[in-house]
Chain A
Amino acid sequence: MSSKRWRMQLPLHVMIWPGLILVLLFCYGPMVGLIIAFQDFVPTNGLFGSEFVGLKHFEYMYSLPQTTEVIRNTLFISVMKIVAGLLAPIATALLLNEIRRESFKRSVQTLIYLPHFLSWVILSGILIEVLSPTNGIVNSLLASMGVEPIFFLGDQSWFPFVMVGTDVWKEFGFGTIVYLAALTSINPSLYEAAVIDGANRWQQTLYITLPGMLPIIVLMLTLSLGNVLNAGFDQIFNLYNPSVYATGDILDTYVYRLAFVNAQFSVATAVGLFKSVISFTLISISYWVAYRFANYRIF
């Protein structure tokens, strides 16, 4: 490589360094701290001075009475969220795409996007009111149809579905926008050709729109798989209560109650590491699957 070329590229290198340094400093640097997952960490002894205990904290984590139940809840809720969170925006995007009136389309788009900006702290307060079995609007509606009031947030069998439903309601507007953007990138001449060949709307959707969206769908799915162990701490922490621990308690809330409140750094780190390893594996697998079956590469 000539030094002339190097000199030409120098500004580009300089531009990437600050970002690179920040990533190294704040994303890779702290990974040194992972060793406290294998120690009986006492802050006073420092990062390297604490006694090494091997996998003790991982064993502790598995020995906890509710761990299997909690992992099951986490997977159940997050898989449902991933599936519903994928289907709802795709369907909405396809429906919106059929609408001719631009102004109507835009206002719907904006309205469904709005909840995305509200924090769960605020939304939880609203949801507790809305879903209240005594004076909530949902149960008033149900009552007018002759249905007994349902204690959505206090009932073990309802709770996970309420979590999925409210999460999808909050986030599907955001996904819709992404998919609508993907739709605009489909070449209109494909539709014109299909019409000439006699394809109806449904066939156009099936053979042109969906395949055209596929790369984005795969991308969104792959990215969301990395979150399979994040079932939504903010949401569940603000909405759950002891009577729904059995079906609503997820890894993050469990660890929060167990370890963070009492500053059990080692246990918390062990759980964090466990989650990261699982997420990393899942992302790798889905990346490979996406390449293999959809011939799509993200990176």
Chain B
Amino acid sequence: MGSRRGRTHFILVSSLLLALTTAACNGNEETTAPEATGNGGATKASESAKNSPAMKEGPFGKYDPPITMTTVRALPDLESYRKGESIDDNLWTRDLKEILGIEVVNKWKVNHKQYNNKITVSMISGDMPDFYQVDAKQLQQIVEAGQAADLTEVYQKYASDVTRQSYEEFNSIKLKGATFDGKLMALPLNGGVPGGAQMIWIRKDWLDALHLEPPRTMDDVIRIALAFTNDDPDRNGKDDTYGLNLMKDLFGGWAGLDGFMNGYHAYAYNPANGSGTDLTFVKNAEGKVVLADTLSEVKIALGKLQELYKAGAIPKEFSVLDGNKAGELATTGKVGMAYGEFWVGTWPIAGMKKENPAVDWRPYPIVSADDAPVHPGGRGDIPTSFIVVNKNAKHPEAAIKILNYFHEKVSGPNRDPNYHQVKEGDVNYQVFSLSPIIGPGFSNQNQIDNDLVQEALRTGDVSKLTSSAKTYYDGIMDYKKGNLDMWLWNALFGQDGAYSITNAYDRKTPPVTSVYMGQPTTAMVTKGPILRDLEVKIFTEIINGTRPVDDFDAAFVAEWYKQGGQEILDEVAASGRIK
């Protein structure tokens, strides 16, 4: 994430900022820019830098003599290195040593699947490296155990401009996610612009066959679902189609209910296979924080779903279908509409165009049940992955310098493609992933790229495209020339593609995200799974008609509060981490 390129106006703004800060820094001894990247305003600054015996100050100050920082690494399933490189010795580690005077030593490295266990074991044995990657829960434990270094000051002092911009985008949501009692205790590696906003994926060829228009209201969605079920949209003379796809987890980026609920201004989200702690809290009319899933809007949506199920528009056996099985319904031409995220364009439907060019899946924005505009639900704005610096580390600021260097090479205006992705022969080497710290960069890179692609599609001028945007643009052009393998690029970045939809959301109807910013509370961890099971069970039974819709209040909402929900709300209210 965030490791793709930025854009020209963006470069202008950031170099302006860079110039301003360097000017401000000239007064004291702080300075920016490693020699290797030094160009633009940064070079001037480094020329005026003064050597201190131990190290140069500033975001890219070099340690002399070099220092050693220990860390640990998670390895991908398929490791691929260029000749002469390894996870221990590569472009990044060499640069860090030569330019920053930081020698990074991997104390151990394991497959990413074992990483969490190994970190836990290391915590038990107390043998922690100088900096290491953790998830939100581990971060909380480490902070509570007092094992994390307070980075507030070193961040203020050493963070480069690109690092700052990355961390401060979207209301500094990333920094907030790593801040405990006003202190920055970790370097967040993700978060930012919310993802997860859904759209409606519809078989346009089926719409055309039945002379239907794309939906404008939820009533249209229901009408289309019923028509797809009853009017034989595939014209095979058999009653073998469904209107709206749904899978057993109920919520999720493919064949989930999220977007359908959003249409009724409901923001329920608690997938059956999830942790039960990734909850959406909203403020109700009285300003009290409540769980979105318990509000009456959800009940209305469930009522509509029950009607659809009764009419046969939702797969009869949705409660046993996982995402793959629901995907097969789509790829075998049994279902013509599903709510989902942008990536539905890449899976499961990406290959259908090639098999049968008549198939025409298209994304449409979600629609509202009434006159009020519809906002999609969103998640992932709060960081979940962090770099913790050991409180015993002698040079906590070195971690920030490594992060600076990563951002400089991969995300900032002076970025260098050789540090991102390099193609040698037939292999694409993800060079950026070798960096000891993989910074978050800018979280809306795909959206930025999409704007560029749209512009290029209009004007035919490809000169302004970033390298990633160029890939997308070329894919679309290839598709238009008849290479149906490239359909997905058109679905994602084409005119009226999935990213144009999310961009429109971000600009006009921004996603609704949880107002709670903290990590899962104790009650969420202990009671969350039980409450999740309760919710999924009752919702499933309401949809398939085993229960009346009115059971929503007594069997779900009341039970939710009774079985621990109230406790969760109390903890959330007491956390002081409400947006």
> Min CB distance, A21 to chain B, in Å?
21
Distance (Å) between the CB of A156 and the closest chain B CB? 9
* B137:A263 contact, CB within 8 angstroms: yes
Complex alpha-carbon distance, A42 and B319, angstroms: 37
Residue of B nearest to A154 (CB): B319
CB neighbors of B among A101-142 (8 A): 125, 128, 132-134
A78 to nearest B CB, angstroms? 22
* Pairwise interchain contact A243-B541, C-beta atoms closer than 8 A: yes
**Complex contact B317–A132 (CB within 8 A):** yes
Shortest CB-to-CB span from A284 to chain B, Å, is: 33
Cα A46 to Cα B274 in complex, Å, equals 28
Q: Is A5 among interface residues, defined by CB-CB distance under 8 A?
A: no
Chain A residues whose CB sits within 8 angstroms of the CB of B126 once the complex forms: 46
Which residues of chain B from 181 to 213 have any CB-CB distance to chain A below 8 Å in the complex? none
Q: When the two chains form their complex, are residues A245 and B145 in contact, meaning their CB atoms are under 8 A apart?
A: no
Do residues B529 and A262 form an inter-chain contact, with CB atoms below 8 A?
A: yes
- CB pair A43 B526 closer than 8 Å: no
Any A CB within 8 A of the CB of B385 = no
Which residues on the B side are within 8 Å of A46 (C-beta)?
123-126
Most buried by B among A44, A47, A66: A44
List CB contacts (< 8 Å) of B506-563 with chain A: 520, 525-526, 528-530, 532-533, 536-537, 540-541, 544, 546, 563
A contact face: mostly helix, strand, loop, or mixed: loop
A154 to B319: give the CA distance in the assembly, Å: 7
B284 at the interface (CB under 8 A from A): no
Question: In the assembly, what is the distance between CA of A241 and CA of B326, in Å?
Answer: 14
Chain A residues lying within 8 Å of B272, measured Cβ to Cβ, are 241-242
Give a binary string over A227-254; 1 marks a CB under 8 Å from any B CB, 0 the rest.
0000000000001011101000000000
Shortest distance between the CB of A6 and any CB in chain B (Å):
40
User: Please, which residue of chain B has its CB at the minimum distance from the CB of A129?
Assistant: B325
Nearest-Cβ distance from residue B416 to partner chain A, whole angstroms: 38
Residues of B within 8 A of A132 (CB): 317
A residues less than 8 Å from B532 (CB atoms):
257
- From A44, A47, A151, A154, B141 is in contact (CB under 8 Å) with A44
Residue contact A243 to B540, C-beta cutoff 8 Å: yes
Asked whether, in the complex, the Cβ of A262 is within 8 Å of the Cβ of B528, the reply is yes
Query: Of B123, B124, B320, which is within 8 A of A241 by CB?
Result: B320
Q: Are B528 and A133 in contact (CB under 8 A)?
A: no
- Residues in B315-368 with C-beta less than 8 Å from chain A: 315-317, 319-321, 324-325
Specify which of B124, B141, B277, B325 is in contact with A262 (CB 8 Å cutoff).
B277
Contact of B529 among A154, A241, A243, A258 (CB under 8 A): A258
A134 to B99, CA, bound (A): 66
A181 to B319, CA, bound (A): 43
The secondary-structure label for the interface of chain B is: helix
Q: Which of A46, A47, A154 has the most CB of B within 10 A?
A: A154
Which B residues touch A45, using CB under 8 A?
145
What distance in Å separates the Cβ of B446 from its nearest Cβ neighbour in chain A? 29
Q: Bound state CA distance, A53 and B273, in angstroms?
A: 30
- The interface centre, meaning the residue of B123, B142, B533, B536 with most chain A CB atoms within 10 A of its CB, is B533
> Residue B575 at the A interface, CB < 8 A?
no
Q: Is the CB of B141 within 8 A of A42?
A: yes
Could you say which residues of chain A place their CB within 8 Å of the CB of B529? Answer: 257-259, 261-262
| Whole-angstrom distance between the Cβ of A232 and the nearest chain B Cβ | 17
Among A22-51, those with CB < 8 Å from B are 42-47
Assess whether B142 is in contact with A262, with CB atoms less than 8 Å apart. no
Which residues on the A side are within 8 Å of B317 (C-beta)? 128, 132-134, 151, 153-154
| Most chain B CB atoms below 10 A, which of A151, A241, A242, A243 | A242
List residues of chain A with CB within 8 A of the CB of B277. 262
Q: Is A204 an interface residue (CB 8 A)?
A: no
Flag if A47 contacts B124 (CB, 8 Å). yes
In the complex, chain B residues 119-136 whose Cβ is within 8 Å of any chain A Cβ:
120, 123-126
State whether the Cβ of A64 lies closer than 8 Å to any Cβ in chain B. yes
- Chain A residues near B275 (CB, 8 Å)? 261-262
Most buried by A among B141, B145, B320, B325: B320
Indicate whether B147 reaches chain A with its CB closer than 8 angstroms: yes
Q: Does A11 contact B (CB under 8 A)?
A: no
Q: With A and B bound together, what is the CA distance between A64 and B147 in angstroms?
A: 33
Residues of A within 8 A of B325 (CB): 125, 128
Decide yes or no whether A279 CB sits under 8 A from chain B: no
A149 to B, closest residue via Cβ: B316
| With A43-B123, A46-B126, A262-B275: A245-B533 Cβ-Cβ less than 8 Å | yes
B174 at the interface (CB under 8 A from A): no
User: Do the beta carbons of B526 and A153 come within 8 Å of each other?
Assistant: no
- Contact flag A43-B319 (CB < 8 Å), given A242-B540, A245-B533, A262-B520: no
Docked-complex contact B563 and A262, CB < 8 angstroms:
no
Instruction: Give bound CA distance, A202 to B272, whole Å.
Output: 53
**Counting CB contacts under 8 A, is B73 at the interface?**
no
Q: Give Cα distance in the complex from A133 to B141, angstroms.
A: 48
A264 within 8 A of B: yes
Tell whether A18 is near chain B: CB-to-CB under 8 Å: no
Judge whether A198 is part of the interface by a CB distance below 8 angstroms: no
Bound complex: CA of A241 vs CA of B125, how far in Å? 39
The answer to the question of A65 belonging to the interface, with a C-beta cut-off of 8 Å to chain B, is yes
- A133 and B316 contacting across the interface, CB-CB below 8 Å: yes
The interface residues of chain A lying within 8 Å CB-to-CB of B319 are 154, 241-243
CA A275 to CA B416, docked complex, whole Å:
57
Cβ-closest chain B residue relative to A245: B537
CB-nearest residue of chain A relative to B538?
A242
Any A CB within 8 A of the CB of B5: no
**Is the beta-carbon distance between A154 and B320 smaller than 8 angstroms?**
yes
Cβ A242 vs Cβ B137 within 8 A: no
Confirm or deny: B233 has a beta carbon within 8 angstroms of a beta carbon on chain A. Answer: no
Minimum CB–CB distance from B281 to chain A (whole Å) comes to 18
Q: Is the CB of A257 within 8 A of B141?
A: no
Does B565 sit within 8 A of A, measured CB to CB?
Answer: no
Is B276 an interface position by the 8 A CB rule? yes
How close is B69's CB to chain A, nearest CB, in angstroms?
A: 21
B248 interfacial by beta-carbon distance below 8 Å = yes
Alpha-carbon distance between A64 and B125 when the two chains are bound, in angstroms: 32
Instruction: Identify which of residues 45-73 in chain A touch chain B, using a CB-to-CB cut-off of 8 Å.
Output: 45-47, 60, 64-66
A sample of 27 inter-chain contacts (CB < 8 A) reads: A42-B141, A43-B141, A44-B124, A44-B145, A45-B145, A46-B124, A46-B126, A125-B324, A128-B321, A128-B325, A132-B317, A133-B316, A153-B320, A154-B317, A242-B319, A242-B537, A243-B319, A243-B540, A243-B541, A243-B546, A258-B529, A261-B275, A261-B529, A262-B137, A262-B276, A262-B277, A263-B137
In the A-B complex, the 6 residue pairs with the smallest Cβ-Cβ separation, listed nearest first, are A44-B145, A43-B123, A242-B536, A242-B537, A43-B120, A258-B529
List residues of chain B with CB under 8 Å of any chain A CB.
120, 123-126, 137-138, 141-142, 144-145, 147, 248, 272, 274-277, 315-317, 319-321, 324-325, 520, 525-526, 528-530, 532-533, 536-537, 540-541, 544, 546, 563
Interfacial residues, chain A to chain B (CB-CB below 8 A): 42-47, 60, 64-66, 125, 128, 132-134, 151, 153-154, 239, 241-243, 245, 257-259, 261-264
Q: A153-B320, A241-B319, A263-B137 are in contact. List 12 more A-B contacts (CB 8 A).
A: A42-B141, A42-B145, A43-B124, A43-B138, A46-B125, A133-B317, A242-B319, A243-B319, A243-B540, A245-B533, A262-B275, A262-B528
